Amino acid sequence: MSDTLRILGIDPGLNHTGFGVIDASANSFKLVTAGCIHVPRGELCDRLGHIYRELSAVIEETHPDCAAAEIIFLNINPRTTLLLGQARGAAITCAATHGLPVHEFTPSEIKLSVVGTGAAAKAQIQHMMKRLLNLAEVPQSDAADALACAITCANAMKLKSLNESALPASRTGVRSLASRSHRRGAWEQFAKHRTQQS
């Protein structure tokens, strides 16, 4: 990871889409901006367009290097999942249209990265965002989730860099891939270390 990386975190939702932009360096995170796009009622196409336009304004104002978004799993209500997926699609399309690579993380990966447990509650995420970013107040829930996604992206990039530097080279000179269990163990150790540092 470069000295400073600006990351846009996105917490997509058809009613409320959270966003959070951070500057991530080797040892710290700094808040650039965060907030929530409140989507007005109306036709679906108009609501998706609103998410796209508002997020586009955030990107144009902050100039992030990449974006990160939460992966959506099937909800109990398939229609709700479909609508949420379309809101997520509008947000990711917006980021991609602005030339941003988009990294994706599961909810449990995000919680593990910023809190230290994959079963963390929303309030825990909010308080960790206040702590990790040295904020005066606890951020709004959607904004906090977006910031957590951005911090997870920064942690993942740092972890990837650490893993690549630690992997032995194969006989062909190409680094061998770590096993899935090794990667998971390294992720948990890194998340635990981040929590202890804070």
Query: Would you call 23 a catalytic residue per the annotation?
Result: no
| Catalytic-labelled residue, pool 23, 70, 109, 145 | 70
Query: Would you call 70 a catalytic residue per the annotation?
Result: yes
| Catalytic-labelled residue, pool 23, 54, 109, 142 | 142
Backbone angles phi, psi at 88, to 5 degrees: -65, -40
Report the C-alpha gap between 8 and 5 in whole angstroms.
10
| Catalytic-labelled residue, pool 11, 23, 54, 145 | 11
Query: Would you call 142 a catalytic residue per the annotation?
Result: yes
Q: Which two tokens stand for residue 77?
A: 């209500």
Report the C-alpha gap between 115 and 177 in whole angstroms.
27
Report the C-alpha gap between 74 and 83 in whole angstroms.
11
> In a 3-state reduction of DSSP, which class is residue 72?
coil
The catalytic residues are 11, 70, 142
